[in-house]
Amino acid sequence: MNFEKQQAAYRQSKPSWLGRGIERLTNPFGKAIAAVVPKGMVEAVLKGVDAAVGAPQLVSFTHDPHDLAAARAASKRVSRRARAISGGTGVAAGMGGLLTMGLDIPATIAIALRTIRDTGRAYGYAGEGPQEKLFRLQILELAALDDPDVRTPRIAALESAIGHDGELVAATHDRIVPVVDQAVERVSRAIAFASFRSRAGMIVPVVGSAVGGVVNASFQGDVGEAARFAFQERRMRAIRAG
């Protein structure tokens, strides 16, 4: 298995078909949805990001996190589990239309954060501390972006945060706190644009539950891919550093 090629393929990949497809199809509803579920709500959820670290794991691991193939397989199990859970909540939320759609977004973000955390653990990273919090936010933002011109520099920024040994580049508390706040703002904006508009179809009778399930499952898939790229890069650098 060529892990270097996998990393290179992700760097060159475009946003998922959902970001370029359903989002455009439902875009006319975007302003109405964003008004009902404001960006501030997403920001409030994201500020509680560390709460996700203490939640039970989505799946149990028995592999050696230093084994890249085993770690990748475990991370895919995490992603499949997250897609199943979030897809189910999306179907249920779609049945209730606009009201339940607003309740589904925080749940979706919480599952995404657990996916990132558990993917990190699959590669041997527990995810504790402010720098790890920022790293999770960078991954979540990357998954939410649907603009290729923004996506490329965000991937570069995420990789620049990783040291040659796979550990995150050290930064003082005074430096890291404002950067985390900026990341929360960026992630909130990205999810506001992508998530609200793609979920707009949930207000349409009959198709709402189908849209909800597909949107949630696709988003969790994007989160899983971004997290796998990020943590696999860390583990590969650690292995090279010996």
Task: Give tens-digit pLDDT for 40-84.
Answer: 666 666 766 556 556 778 888 999 999 999 999 999 999 999 888
Mean pLDDT of 125-135: 86
What would the mean pLDDT of 107-134 be, rounded to a whole number?
A: 88
**Residue 220, domain member (yes or no):** yes
Cα–Cα dist 211/22, whole Å: 9
Residue 2 inside a domain? The answer is: no
Domain count, the chain: 1
Whether the CB-CB separation of 210 and 80 falls below 8 Å is answered with no
pLDDT tops 50 at residue 226: yes
pTM of the model: 0.80
Residue range of the domain that includes 237 = 33-241
**Has residue 152 been placed in a domain?**
yes
SS3 category, 168: strand
Task: Output the average pLDDT for the chain.
Answer: 76
